[in-house]
Amino acid sequence: MYIAFDLLAADLGVNDKSSQVAWLNHILHQELDIWYQKHTIAYQIKTVKYVTRIVLEPDEMYSFFALTWNPKHPELRNYRMIEPMKLDNH
């Protein structure tokens, strides 16, 4: 499971996609650091293309994240929780 932030979904009024992605990713890292300092829950972060993924352990922390995530920047309030499909290898 992971949390996905789509860095292109927000409209910052920036014409350059790469500038918007870089700016939002920077702000997201700052907001996650503030969240971590407040709740001391470790996370892993990875950006793939225009989506930043946050991984929390154990899975119960995703509900806690949903209840406590309140960033100053409204662009970061929209995220998705993704449960990757598990393949059956019978």
Distance CA 37, CA 45 (A): 16
What single letter denotes the amino acid at residue 71?
Answer: P
- Residue-wise pLDDT for 3-17, tens only, equals 999 998 877 677 778
What is the spatial distance between Cα 11 and Cα 57, in angstroms, rounded to a whole number?
A: 31
The pTM of the full predicted model, rounded to 2 decimals, is 0.84
Give per-residue pLDDT as tens, 24-80: 999 999 999 999 999 999 999 999 889 999 999 998 999 999 999 999 988 899 999
Strand order across the 43-48 sheet: 43-48, 51-56, 2-6, 80-82
